[in-house]
Amino acid sequence: MLEEKGTYTIQDLFENLAIPILELSRRSKINEVTLARIRDGKPTRRATANKLLNTFSEIYERPFNLRNVTGINVQVNKRQETKEAKELTARGKTGVA
């Protein structure tokens, strides 16, 4: 049973899981190998992390997200970061907010 607290680790969620990983894979529609990689701290896409956290929310009947679960290594989208940095720079030069 998972105790109620403000923040959780991804390991807490996996260790207290009352269903097999195979069932978690089926429910979340995430490959078992990918689930093991997330559990072990390997990088994953934000969308995959959110899909897993939504499934954990259903299983544990409480909300989980990237703000209250630590230990998930979300890949940085370099293209998106570069685009956002360019947009900020352009706004700064033009003085438009």
The ranges of the chain with pLDDT < 50 are: none
Position 91 scores a pLDDT of 80
Which tens digit of pLDDT belongs to each residue from 25-36?
Answer: 999 999 999 999
pLDDT above 70 coverage of the chain, percent? 95
Burial class (CB in 10 A: 0-12, 13-18, 19+), 27: middle
Instruction: Report how far residue 40's alpha carbon sits from residue 56's, in angstroms, rounded to the nearest whole number.
Output: 17
Residue 32: closest CA among 19, 41, 23: 23
Which tens digit of pLDDT belongs to each residue from 69-84?
Answer: 999 999 987 787 788 7
Domain ranges of the chain: 8-94
